[in-house]
Chains A and B, each alone.
Chain A
Amino acid sequence: MAKKQLDEQDRNILDGLAKDARISNRKIAADLGITEGTVRSRIKRMESEGQVRITAMTNIARLRNPTLAYIWVEVERSAQCDDVAQKLAEVPEIGFVGKMLGRFDILAITLVQDNAELARFLHSKITGLAGVRRTECSLGVNFVKHDYRMSRIVES
Protein backbone atom coordinates (compact mmCIF):
# COMPACT_ATOMS: atom_id res chain seq x y z
CA MET A 1 0.00 0.00 0.00
CA ALA A 2 2.86 2.38 0.81
CA LYS A 3 3.77 4.56 -2.14
CA LYS A 4 7.29 4.85 -3.44
CA GLN A 5 9.12 7.91 -2.19
CA LEU A 6 10.05 10.69 -4.56
CA ASP A 7 13.81 11.10 -4.99
CA GLU A 8 15.74 14.34 -5.25
CA GLN A 9 15.49 14.52 -9.03
CA ASP A 10 11.69 14.05 -8.82
CA ARG A 11 11.45 16.81 -6.24
CA ASN A 12 13.52 19.15 -8.40
CA ILE A 13 11.16 18.54 -11.29
CA LEU A 14 8.18 19.23 -9.00
CA ASP A 15 9.82 22.48 -7.92
CA GLY A 16 10.02 23.35 -11.59
CA LEU A 17 6.28 22.70 -11.91
CA ALA A 18 5.43 24.59 -8.71
CA LYS A 19 4.69 27.99 -10.18
CA ASP A 20 2.96 26.80 -13.31
CA ALA A 21 2.47 23.12 -13.96
CA ARG A 22 1.98 23.75 -17.69
CA ILE A 23 5.60 24.84 -18.12
CA SER A 24 7.26 22.91 -20.95
CA ASN A 25 9.48 19.89 -20.35
CA ARG A 26 12.16 21.69 -22.32
CA LYS A 27 12.20 24.64 -19.91
CA ILE A 28 12.38 22.41 -16.81
CA ALA A 29 15.14 20.35 -18.43
CA ALA A 30 17.15 23.46 -19.28
CA ASP A 31 16.78 24.86 -15.75
CA LEU A 32 17.89 21.60 -14.15
CA GLY A 33 20.57 20.71 -16.69
CA ILE A 34 19.01 17.35 -17.52
CA THR A 35 17.49 16.02 -20.73
CA GLU A 36 13.94 16.68 -21.84
CA GLY A 37 13.41 12.92 -22.08
CA THR A 38 14.25 12.51 -18.39
CA VAL A 39 11.75 15.19 -17.41
CA ARG A 40 9.06 13.66 -19.59
CA SER A 41 9.56 10.11 -18.37
CA ARG A 42 9.77 11.10 -14.72
CA ILE A 43 6.58 13.16 -14.84
CA LYS A 44 4.90 10.24 -16.61
CA ARG A 45 6.15 7.80 -13.98
CA MET A 46 5.14 10.01 -11.04
CA GLU A 47 1.65 10.32 -12.49
CA SER A 48 1.23 6.64 -13.35
CA GLU A 49 2.37 5.55 -9.90
CA GLY A 50 -0.07 7.94 -8.26
CA GLN A 51 2.63 10.02 -6.59
CA VAL A 52 1.68 13.18 -8.43
CA ARG A 53 -1.36 14.42 -10.31
CA ILE A 54 -1.27 17.49 -12.48
CA THR A 55 -4.64 19.14 -12.49
CA ALA A 56 -6.62 22.36 -12.67
CA MET A 57 -7.60 24.14 -9.47
CA THR A 58 -10.20 26.87 -9.58
CA ASN A 59 -10.58 29.74 -7.17
CA ILE A 60 -13.37 29.16 -4.69
CA ALA A 61 -13.90 32.92 -4.53
CA ARG A 62 -15.50 32.61 -8.00
CA LEU A 63 -18.44 30.62 -6.62
CA ARG A 64 -21.52 32.27 -5.17
CA ASN A 65 -21.69 31.67 -1.40
CA PRO A 66 -19.38 28.68 -1.39
CA THR A 67 -19.96 26.66 1.77
CA LEU A 68 -17.71 23.79 2.69
CA ALA A 69 -19.60 21.12 4.61
CA TYR A 70 -17.77 18.59 6.78
CA ILE A 71 -20.24 15.74 7.17
CA TRP A 72 -19.33 13.39 9.99
CA VAL A 73 -21.09 10.05 9.69
CA GLU A 74 -21.72 7.41 12.30
CA VAL A 75 -22.63 3.99 10.96
CA GLU A 76 -25.25 1.67 12.39
CA ARG A 77 -22.90 -1.31 12.70
CA SER A 78 -19.11 -1.14 12.42
CA ALA A 79 -19.14 -3.86 9.77
CA GLN A 80 -21.06 -1.49 7.48
CA CYS A 81 -18.36 1.16 7.54
CA ASP A 82 -16.59 0.06 4.33
CA ASP A 83 -19.84 -0.18 2.39
CA VAL A 84 -21.07 3.21 3.51
CA ALA A 85 -17.70 4.84 2.77
CA GLN A 86 -17.67 3.27 -0.70
CA LYS A 87 -21.20 4.49 -1.43
CA LEU A 88 -20.27 8.01 -0.33
CA ALA A 89 -17.17 7.97 -2.52
CA GLU A 90 -19.42 7.26 -5.50
CA VAL A 91 -21.40 10.47 -4.99
CA PRO A 92 -19.92 12.97 -7.49
CA GLU A 93 -20.62 16.01 -5.30
CA ILE A 94 -18.51 14.64 -2.45
CA GLY A 95 -14.86 15.60 -2.79
CA PHE A 96 -13.37 13.80 0.19
CA VAL A 97 -14.21 10.54 1.92
CA GLY A 98 -12.11 9.12 4.73
CA LYS A 99 -12.64 6.26 7.12
CA MET A 100 -11.79 7.76 10.47
CA LEU A 101 -10.59 6.63 13.86
CA GLY A 102 -11.89 8.82 16.65
CA ARG A 103 -14.75 11.27 16.06
CA PHE A 104 -17.43 9.35 14.16
CA ASP A 105 -16.65 6.65 11.57
CA ILE A 106 -16.47 8.51 8.28
CA LEU A 107 -15.73 12.06 7.19
CA ALA A 108 -17.21 13.28 3.91
CA ILE A 109 -16.53 16.79 2.64
CA THR A 110 -18.64 18.54 0.07
CA LEU A 111 -19.10 22.01 -1.29
CA VAL A 112 -22.56 23.53 -1.51
CA GLN A 113 -23.77 26.98 -2.43
CA ASP A 114 -26.32 27.48 0.33
CA ASN A 115 -27.83 25.83 3.40
CA ALA A 116 -31.00 24.75 1.62
CA GLU A 117 -28.84 22.89 -0.88
CA LEU A 118 -26.99 21.19 1.97
CA ALA A 119 -30.24 20.08 3.58
CA ARG A 120 -31.46 18.65 0.27
CA PHE A 121 -28.13 16.98 -0.32
CA LEU A 122 -28.03 15.38 3.14
CA HIS A 123 -31.52 13.98 2.79
CA SER A 124 -31.23 12.76 -0.77
CA LYS A 125 -27.67 11.41 -0.77
CA ILE A 126 -26.60 10.56 2.78
CA THR A 127 -29.12 10.01 5.54
CA GLY A 128 -31.03 7.51 3.42
CA LEU A 129 -28.03 5.24 2.81
CA ALA A 130 -28.30 1.83 4.45
CA GLY A 131 -26.04 1.76 7.48
CA VAL A 132 -25.99 5.49 8.23
CA ARG A 133 -27.07 5.98 11.84
CA ARG A 134 -26.57 9.70 12.24
CA THR A 135 -24.63 12.63 10.83
CA GLU A 136 -23.25 15.84 12.23
CA CYS A 137 -22.17 18.78 10.11
CA SER A 138 -19.64 21.53 10.46
CA LEU A 139 -20.51 24.29 8.05
CA GLY A 140 -17.72 26.40 6.66
CA VAL A 141 -18.00 30.14 7.09
CA ASN A 142 -14.43 31.08 6.24
CA PHE A 143 -12.17 28.79 4.19
CA VAL A 144 -8.79 30.08 5.34
CA LYS A 145 -6.27 27.70 3.81
CA HIS A 146 -6.02 24.73 1.54
CA ASP A 147 -2.58 23.76 0.37
CA TYR A 148 -3.62 21.98 -2.80
CA ARG A 149 -0.13 20.68 -3.37
CA MET A 150 -0.66 18.20 -0.55
CA SER A 151 -3.20 15.49 -1.09
CA ARG A 152 -4.00 11.82 -1.16
CA ILE A 153 -4.02 10.52 -4.69
CA VAL A 154 -6.54 7.74 -4.97
CA GLU A 155 -7.05 5.64 -8.06
CA SER A 156 -10.46 4.07 -8.24
Chain B
Amino acid sequence: MTDYSDGEHLRPAPSQHMDEVDHRIVAHLRRDGRMPYKTLAKELGLTEATVRSRVRRLEEGDSLRVVAVTDYEAVGYTMMLAVGIQVEGRPADVVAEDLAKFDEVFSVCQVVGTLDIETLAVTRDQEHLSDLLARLAKVPGVRKLEPSIALDVLKNQSNWVPFGHGV
Protein backbone atom coordinates (compact mmCIF):
# COMPACT_ATOMS: atom_id res chain seq x y z
CA MET B 1 0.00 0.00 0.00
CA THR B 2 1.47 3.28 -1.04
CA ASP B 3 1.68 5.84 1.70
CA TYR B 4 0.47 9.16 0.39
CA SER B 5 0.56 10.85 3.75
CA ASP B 6 3.09 13.51 4.59
CA GLY B 7 5.86 12.70 7.02
CA GLU B 8 4.80 13.85 10.47
CA HIS B 9 7.62 16.37 10.47
CA LEU B 10 5.98 18.18 7.55
CA ARG B 11 2.84 19.06 9.41
CA PRO B 12 3.11 22.81 9.69
CA ALA B 13 1.66 24.28 12.85
CA PRO B 14 -1.93 25.46 12.42
CA SER B 15 -1.73 28.77 10.63
CA GLN B 16 -3.95 31.30 8.96
CA HIS B 17 -3.72 29.15 5.84
CA MET B 18 -4.43 25.64 7.09
CA ASP B 19 -5.75 24.25 10.34
CA GLU B 20 -6.00 20.68 11.60
CA VAL B 21 -9.27 19.99 9.77
CA ASP B 22 -7.78 21.29 6.51
CA HIS B 23 -4.87 18.89 6.92
CA ARG B 24 -7.27 15.99 7.36
CA ILE B 25 -9.13 17.00 4.21
CA VAL B 26 -5.84 17.22 2.31
CA ALA B 27 -4.76 13.78 3.57
CA HIS B 28 -7.92 12.23 2.11
CA LEU B 29 -7.55 14.09 -1.17
CA ARG B 30 -3.93 12.92 -1.45
CA ARG B 31 -5.19 9.34 -1.55
CA ASP B 32 -8.16 10.02 -3.82
CA GLY B 33 -8.37 13.44 -5.42
CA ARG B 34 -11.84 12.78 -6.79
CA MET B 35 -13.40 11.53 -3.58
CA PRO B 36 -16.95 12.96 -3.61
CA TYR B 37 -17.69 15.73 -1.08
CA LYS B 38 -20.35 13.50 0.41
CA THR B 39 -17.84 10.72 1.16
CA LEU B 40 -15.27 13.20 2.42
CA ALA B 41 -17.82 14.72 4.78
CA LYS B 42 -18.80 11.30 6.10
CA GLU B 43 -15.16 10.23 6.62
CA LEU B 44 -14.40 13.40 8.54
CA GLY B 45 -17.66 13.71 10.45
CA LEU B 46 -18.38 17.13 8.92
CA THR B 47 -21.21 18.47 6.84
CA GLU B 48 -20.89 18.45 3.08
CA ALA B 49 -21.25 22.24 3.01
CA THR B 50 -18.32 22.65 5.40
CA VAL B 51 -16.07 20.41 3.34
CA ARG B 52 -17.03 22.16 0.13
CA SER B 53 -16.35 25.61 1.49
CA ARG B 54 -13.04 24.55 3.05
CA VAL B 55 -11.80 22.98 -0.18
CA ARG B 56 -12.84 26.10 -2.07
CA ARG B 57 -11.08 28.36 0.44
CA LEU B 58 -7.87 26.33 0.25
CA GLU B 59 -7.95 26.38 -3.55
CA GLU B 60 -8.71 30.06 -3.80
CA GLY B 61 -6.02 30.85 -1.24
CA ASP B 62 -3.49 28.98 -3.41
CA SER B 63 -2.75 26.45 -0.68
CA LEU B 64 -4.26 23.42 -2.40
CA ARG B 65 -4.70 22.11 -5.91
CA VAL B 66 -6.21 18.80 -6.87
CA VAL B 67 -4.43 17.72 -10.02
CA ALA B 68 -4.09 14.84 -12.43
CA VAL B 69 -0.53 13.58 -12.31
CA THR B 70 0.50 11.72 -15.45
CA ASP B 71 3.08 8.97 -15.63
CA TYR B 72 5.76 10.14 -18.02
CA GLU B 73 5.97 6.73 -19.67
CA ALA B 74 2.25 6.82 -20.54
CA VAL B 75 2.84 9.96 -22.59
CA GLY B 76 5.85 8.70 -24.52
CA TYR B 77 8.87 9.49 -22.35
CA THR B 78 11.12 6.54 -21.60
CA MET B 79 13.95 8.08 -19.63
CA MET B 80 14.14 10.17 -16.52
CA LEU B 81 17.33 11.87 -15.53
CA ALA B 82 18.74 14.05 -12.81
CA VAL B 83 21.04 16.72 -14.13
CA GLY B 84 23.17 18.61 -11.65
CA ILE B 85 24.55 21.89 -12.93
CA GLN B 86 27.62 23.95 -12.14
CA VAL B 87 27.18 27.63 -12.86
CA GLU B 88 29.82 30.18 -13.80
CA GLY B 89 29.71 33.88 -14.58
CA ARG B 90 25.97 34.35 -14.05
CA PRO B 91 23.78 34.22 -10.94
CA ALA B 92 22.48 30.69 -10.30
CA ASP B 93 18.91 31.88 -9.73
CA VAL B 94 18.84 33.49 -13.16
CA VAL B 95 20.23 30.35 -14.79
CA ALA B 96 17.64 28.29 -12.88
CA GLU B 97 14.85 30.46 -14.32
CA ASP B 98 16.15 29.80 -17.84
CA LEU B 99 16.30 26.05 -17.20
CA ALA B 100 12.72 26.12 -15.91
CA LYS B 101 11.61 27.18 -19.40
CA PHE B 102 12.47 23.79 -20.88
CA ASP B 103 9.38 21.56 -21.16
CA GLU B 104 11.43 18.41 -20.56
CA VAL B 105 12.89 19.81 -17.35
CA PHE B 106 10.06 19.26 -14.89
CA SER B 107 11.85 20.17 -11.68
CA VAL B 108 14.45 22.84 -10.96
CA CYS B 109 15.95 23.73 -7.62
CA GLN B 110 18.81 26.07 -6.84
CA VAL B 111 20.98 24.32 -4.25
CA VAL B 112 24.10 24.61 -2.15
CA GLY B 113 26.55 21.73 -2.22
CA THR B 114 29.06 20.64 -4.79
CA LEU B 115 26.73 21.86 -7.54
CA ASP B 116 24.58 24.96 -7.94
CA ILE B 117 21.34 23.65 -9.44
CA GLU B 118 19.62 20.25 -9.40
CA THR B 119 17.12 19.47 -12.14
CA LEU B 120 14.95 16.49 -13.06
CA ALA B 121 14.04 15.89 -16.69
CA VAL B 122 12.48 13.36 -19.05
CA THR B 123 13.35 12.38 -22.61
CA ARG B 124 11.70 10.22 -25.25
CA ASP B 125 14.81 8.27 -26.27
CA GLN B 126 18.58 8.41 -26.41
CA GLU B 127 18.63 10.84 -29.30
CA HIS B 128 16.32 13.21 -27.46
CA LEU B 129 18.55 12.80 -24.39
CA SER B 130 21.62 13.82 -26.30
CA ASP B 131 19.79 16.75 -27.86
CA LEU B 132 18.43 17.95 -24.51
CA LEU B 133 21.86 17.83 -22.85
CA ALA B 134 23.31 19.82 -25.77
CA ARG B 135 20.62 22.48 -25.38
CA LEU B 136 21.04 22.66 -21.61
CA ALA B 137 24.81 23.06 -22.00
CA LYS B 138 24.24 26.13 -24.19
CA VAL B 139 22.25 28.03 -21.56
CA PRO B 140 24.36 31.07 -20.62
CA GLY B 141 26.03 30.54 -17.25
CA VAL B 142 26.03 26.73 -17.45
CA ARG B 143 29.60 25.55 -16.95
CA LYS B 144 29.13 21.85 -16.51
CA LEU B 145 26.31 19.33 -16.58
CA GLU B 146 26.44 16.31 -14.30
CA PRO B 147 23.75 14.05 -15.68
CA SER B 148 22.68 10.70 -14.34
CA ILE B 149 19.92 8.45 -15.62
CA ALA B 150 17.30 6.80 -13.43
CA LEU B 151 17.42 3.04 -14.01
CA ASP B 152 14.43 2.53 -11.79
CA VAL B 153 12.20 4.86 -9.81
CA LEU B 154 11.05 3.10 -6.65
CA LYS B 155 9.09 5.96 -5.20
CA ASN B 156 7.83 9.29 -6.42
CA GLN B 157 5.45 11.39 -4.38
CA SER B 158 5.81 15.10 -4.51
CA ASN B 159 3.14 16.50 -2.26
CA TRP B 160 4.55 19.93 -1.48
CA VAL B 161 5.47 21.88 -4.59
CA PRO B 162 5.89 25.50 -5.65
CA PHE B 163 2.75 26.83 -7.34
CA GLY B 164 3.57 28.94 -10.34
CA HIS B 165 5.45 28.63 -13.61
CA GLY B 166 2.23 28.17 -15.49
CA VAL B 167 1.54 24.86 -13.78
Q: How many residues of B contact A (CB 8 A)?
A: 81
Contact indicator per residue, chain B 69-87, by CB within 8 Å of chain A (1) or not (0) = 1111111101010101000
**Chain B residues within an 8 Å CB radius of A102:** 146-149
Cβ of A59 and Cβ of B67 under 8 Å apart?
A: no
C-alpha gap A63/B1 in the complex (Å): 27
Q: Does B142 contact A (CB under 8 A)?
A: no
**B152 CB to closest chain A CB, in angstroms?**
4
Question: Which of B29, B67, B73 has the most chain A CB atoms closer than 10 A to its own CB?
Answer: B67
B30: chain A residues within 8 A (beta carbon) = 55-56
Answer whether A66 and B160 are a contact pair too, CB < 8 Å, given A3-B74, A59-B62, A137-B113. Answer: yes
Residue A103 is within 8 A (CB to CB) of chain B in the complex: yes
Number of interface residues of A (CB under 8 A): 76
Interface status of A62 (Cβ within 8 A of chain B)? yes
Smallest distance from the beta carbon of B101 to chain A beta carbons, Å?
A: 9
Query: CB of B138 within 8 A of chain A?
Result: no
Residues of B within 8 A of A85 (CB): 152, 154
Could you list which residues of chain B lie within 8 angstroms of chain A, going by C-beta atoms?
A: 1-5, 7-10, 12-13, 15, 17-18, 26, 29-34, 55, 59, 62-76, 78, 80, 82, 84, 93, 96-97, 99-100, 105-115, 118, 122, 146-165, 167
Q: List 5 A-B contacts (CB under 8 A).
A: A53-B68, A59-B162, A60-B160, A98-B154, A146-B158
